[in-house]
Amino acid sequence: MPVKPIPILMYHSIEKMPKGTVMRSLHVPPKLFSLQMKLLKILGYRGLNMSELQPYLAGKKTGKVVGITFDDGYQNNLINALPILKKYGFSATCYLVSQNIAGFNYWDIDKGITKNPTMDQSEVRAWIDGGMEIGSHAQHHIRLSQCDASTLTQEITQSKKDLQQQFNCSVDHFCYPYGDHSDSVVSAVKKAGYLSATTVRRSRVQSDDKPLTLPRVFVTHRTFAHLFLMKILGRYEDKHS
């Protein structure tokens, strides 16, 4: 694992939402996202998808790098985030719920969270063709630690196959829905052949972190420039781990 801490940024929706929106923190306005990427570029960082980040996480390479990830596969990632990522020469990994292509965030609706469409097949292909990467967020957005062994294997292994067959690309990286995992879940992810898996534990990746339980840096609609820099450059986020 890395000698120096490496931030893996966790985003969900890239959209400006009105005040009073339930869980507004999940929606980062495009202008703020653009500023965050600009700051990384100015500081000499490279924004990388999870595959490109692997040698740095393994300690085989060193440099100023940041992982960029998006959970759930929202359409606004393509519309609002992709042009900004391309502008700065960055790449990112978008974790898709394999049975929710051209769907929406059905798991959020009972919480009063705004309905948010996910990318359809052509949009996912446009994301990949734009130089980005996809990973798995299971077949369905469920709590994997509560699944029986058969369902667990299906969710983790089949989601990888679903996406690889549908989009004709390697799917080597996993993200636990809700960040929910246990020893048996991690074991199933390892058995399925994933190279990395990300959680919602807050921290930059440290030398003692395991590749299948990686922490991330949570970015919200209120992660303004000064806080963003504190999360990237200092121990602000690590204190929350």
CATH number at residue 75: 3.20.20.370
Classify burial at 207, counting beta carbons within 10 Å of its beta carbon; exposed 0-12, middle 13-18, buried 19 or more: exposed
Residue 20 lies in a domain: yes
pLDDT reported for residue 240: 80
- Specify whether the CB–CB gap between 182 and 199 falls below 8 A: no
Residue 3 lies in a domain: no
Residue 175 lies in a domain: no
- Specify whether the CB–CB gap between 29 and 13 falls below 8 A: no
pLDDT reported for residue 132: 98
Residue 140 lies in a domain: no
Buried b / exposed e along 68-78 (16+ C-beta atoms within 10 A): bbbbbbbbbbb
Residue 160 lies in a domain: no
Domain, as residue range, for 222: 8-135+200-240
Spatial separation of the C-alpha atoms in residues 213 and 33, rounded to whole Å:
26
Positive or negative torsion for Cα 188, 194, 195, 201: negative
Q: What is the pLDDT along the chain (241 residues), one digit of tens a residue?
A: 888 999 999 999 999 999 999 999 999 999 999 999 999 999 999 999 999 999 999 999 999 999 999 999 999 999 999 999 999 999 999 999 999 999 999 999 999 999 999 999 999 999 999 999 999 999 999 999 999 999 999 999 999 999 999 999 999 999 999 999 999 999 999 999 999 999 999 999 999 999 999 999 999 999 999 999 999 999 999 988 7
Q: Is 118 left (phi over 0), alpha (psi -120 to 50) or beta?
A: beta
Q: DSSP label at 110?
A: G
Residue 158 lies in a domain: no
For the chain, how many structural domains are there in total?
1
Residue 170 lies in a domain: no
pLDDT reported for residue 3: 80
β-bridge pairing 65-72 and 93-96? parallel
pLDDT reported for residue 61: 96
Spatial separation of the C-alpha atoms in residues 241 and 229, rounded to whole Å:
18
Does the pTM surpass 0.95? The reply is yes
- Specify whether the CB–CB gap between 184 and 151 falls below 8 A: no
Residue 177 lies in a domain: no
pLDDT reported for residue 161: 98
For residue 70, give the 3-state DSSP assignment.
Answer: strand
